[in-house]
Homo-oligomer: A and B are copies of this chain.
Amino acid sequence: MPERIALIGAGRVGGHLGRRLHQAGWPIVQVYSRNPDKAKSLAAQLGAGFTGDLNAISRDADLYILAVSDDAIGEVAGALPLPPDKLVVHTSGATPSDELHNRFARYGVFYPLQTFSADREPDFSNIPICLFAADTAGYDLLERLARSLGSPYYAVDDRQRFVLHVAAVFVNNFTNYLYQVGEDIAHSEQLSFDLLRPLILETAQKIQSASPAAMQTGPAIRGDAATVERHLAYLADRPEYAELYRMLTKGINAEMG
C-alpha cells in the first residue's frame, strides 16, 4: 500500500508539489494551512481532507511534508501534535534539518531546487530534488517520491544544501538583478527590453549542455581594453553600475589567468 502523505502548507511549493504527488498516485490524506480557505481549496484538488488547526493534524499519515515559509518551519514542527517517531520533512533550501531534529527522530529534507511562481506550471522532470533523511527507510521513501515525479534527485546533506543555496543566489537572484540593470540601461536610451530578452534566453540555453567558462564571450574575455574603457566612460554617471562592471570584468579576467 502506498504511503499516506499529509501536506503542511498550501502555498506555491505546497500547491505545485501536492498536485504533482497526487497526479503521481500518492494518497494525500490531509492539507493544513493557517489559512483554512487555502487548505480547503488545495485539498479539493487533491481529494484530501483539510484543516486550519495544527491540533487537528491527522495522526494517520506516514509522511508529513512541511511546505511552509523558512521562518515558520521550527515553530510549526514544534507544534505538530505527533509522536516523535513520525517521518517529517521540510522543503527548504535555506533551513538546516536541525529545525526538525529538535522534535522528531525521523526527519529529512525534500528540497526541489527551483523557483516556483503561482502562474507557471513547473516541469518536475526538470527539477532537481535534493534529498536528505536521518534514517535509511526515510531516505528510501523520499527517493521513491522523487522518482515517481520523474525528477532527477541527489543526496545532499545540510552543508551541501546551504552551499547550493549560496550558488543559487548567484545564478538566480544576482543574475536577475543583472537583467534588471540591462533593462534600466536600455530604457535610459528609449530602447525596449525586448531587444535583450532573446540574448538572455540564449545565454541560459547555451550552458544547459556546456560549462559557462567555455562559453564566455565579450570584451573582458577578449582582453578588449578599449571597449571596456568606452563602456566605463559611459557608466561614469552611474558609479554603482561602473563599480559592478569593473568587478565583474576583473573576475572574468582572473579566469583567463
Min Cβ gap A208→B in Å is 5
Query: Do B255 and A215 touch (CB < 8 A)?
Result: no
Q: Is A137 an interface residue (CB 8 A)?
A: no
Query: Do A206 and B163 touch (CB < 8 A)?
Result: no
Query: Do A183 and B200 touch (CB < 8 A)?
Result: no
Which chain A residues numbered 185 to 200 have a C-beta less than 8 Å away from chain B?
A: 185-186, 188-200
Q: With contacts A156-B191, A206-B115, A244-B251 known, is A178 near B174, CB below 8 A?
A: yes
CA gap between A244 and B246 in the complex, in Å: 11
Q: With contacts A206-B117, A244-B247 known, is A175 near B159, CB below 8 A?
A: no
Q: Is A23 an interface residue (CB 8 A)?
A: no
User: What are the interface flags for A103-123 relative to B under an 8 Å C-beta threshold, 1 for contact and 0 otherwise?
Assistant: 000000000011101001000
Which chain A residues numbered 134 to 154 have a C-beta less than 8 Å away from chain B?
A: 152, 154
**Number of chain copies forming the complex:** 2
Chain B residue nearest in CB terms to A234: B166
Q: Is A219 an interface residue (CB 8 A)?
A: yes
CA gap between A236 and B191 in the complex, in Å: 39
**A174 CB contacts on chain B under 8 angstroms:** 178, 244-245, 248, 252
Query: Do A163 and B180 touch (CB < 8 A)?
Result: no
Which chain A residues numbered 209 to 248 have a C-beta less than 8 Å away from chain B?
A: 211-213, 215-221, 227, 230-231, 234-235, 240-241, 243-245, 247-248
